[in-house]
Amino acid sequence: MDGCPPLLLSHLLVNDRPFQVTLTKSVFSWQPLRPRKPSSAGGETCSVPVPEIIAVRETEVDVINKECRRWQKMPSVFNEKMFHAFTVHHVKRSKEHHWLCSEVTFRSSDHQLCRQWMQALEEQLDLQAIRPKNLIVFINPFGGKRLGKQIYDEKVAPLFQLASITAEVIVTEYANHARDYLFEADLEKYDGIVSVGGDGMFSEVMHGVIGRTQKNACINQNHPNAELVPCDLRVGIIPAGEKYFLYKKAAQKVNTSFKNTM
């Protein structure tokens, strides 16, 4: 635990096992009420920092038909106790600092309790000021193995949609397309910029961001004595080219292992 008083604490089912589920302002955690083995108690306890929760969704509950032993959707009228559920999608940190998407589903016979949990989690997510809502994405369709658009559509776009992030996607058509766009676009409506491509795409985006920031501040960035103004926009990088030198260096800088998405 993080020492903060719990905002919500309940007993819920995970994979038909009872867990104590706790939410504080900074951590969401769940631990089994009856560990399988005394030695495994610590290993079964899970916790996720609230900023690393991607989304919370109400979940349709499946039940097993005892006669045919097949899974079916929960009927509107069920002989036994009716269950309700919600799923928390979150970041899972694995070995070598790899970050993966994971999910866990919690069940309860109390529908109001499930709604209370969803509301409490969503309220905490809304309080995270650093979470982006609107992004602009530049994709280089020609770099590397020409997989930039495919990588974005299959890997990135579903994650943005899950996290309720609106993304304006621009597939670049010529050299310095992203740079020229950033020089003229209204950047006030964006929380960040994402570069999908290789080192060239990332360099182009950075030149656009830096140049636009100096332009707004009326600074001549080409003057040798100019004091450049830092940019408030965050820049995300998604490798989709053949060479990843800048991506690797950026990953090392934040102590995160570089992993080829291809």
The question of whether 199 is a catalytic residue gets the answer yes
Mean pLDDT confidence for 128-141: 94
User: What is the C-alpha separation between 258 and 236, in angstroms, rounded?
Assistant: 14
CATH fold of 134-257: Rossmann fold (3.40.50)
DSSP class of 188: G
Give the per-residue pLDDT at 15. Answer: 93
Give tens-digit pLDDT for 239-251.
886 666 565 666 5
Mean pLDDT confidence for 54-67: 75
Give the per-residue pLDDT at 42. Answer: 45
Q: Which amino acid is at 157?
A: A
Q: Which amino acid is at 108?
A: S
Give tens-digit pLDDT for 191-227.
999 999 998 999 999 999 999 999 999 999 999 999 9
Give tens-digit pLDDT for 33-52.
987 765 444 457 899 999 99
Give, in order, the Cα–Cα distances in Å from 141 to each of 148, 159, 177, 179, 199. Answer: 5, 20, 12, 16, 13
pLDDT for 98 beyond 70: yes
pLDDT for 259 beyond 50: no
Domain boundaries, the chain: 8-35+44-62+83-127, 134-257
User: What is the C-alpha separation between 175 and 167, in angstroms, rounded?
Assistant: 22
Strands 70-73 and 62-65: antiparallel
Q: Extract long-range pairs of 70-74: CB within 8 Å, 24+ residues apart.
A: none
Give the per-residue pLDDT at 67. Answer: 43
Give the per-residue pLDDT at 38. Answer: 57
Q: Which CATH class is domain 8-35+44-62+83-127?
A: mainly beta
User: What is the C-alpha separation between 133 and 130, in angstroms, rounded?
Assistant: 9
72 or 99, which is more confident: 99
User: What is the C-alpha separation between 63 and 255, in angstroms, rounded?
Assistant: 43
56 or 62, which is more confident: 56
Which residue carries 């103004």 as its tokens?
A: 229
Hey, what's the torsion of the CAs at 37, 8, 130, 199, to 10 degrees?
20
Token couple for 113: 């309790």
Catalytic residue, from 153, 180, 186, 199: name it.
199
- 33: exposed, middle or buried (C-beta count within 10 Å: 0-12, 13-18, 19+)? exposed
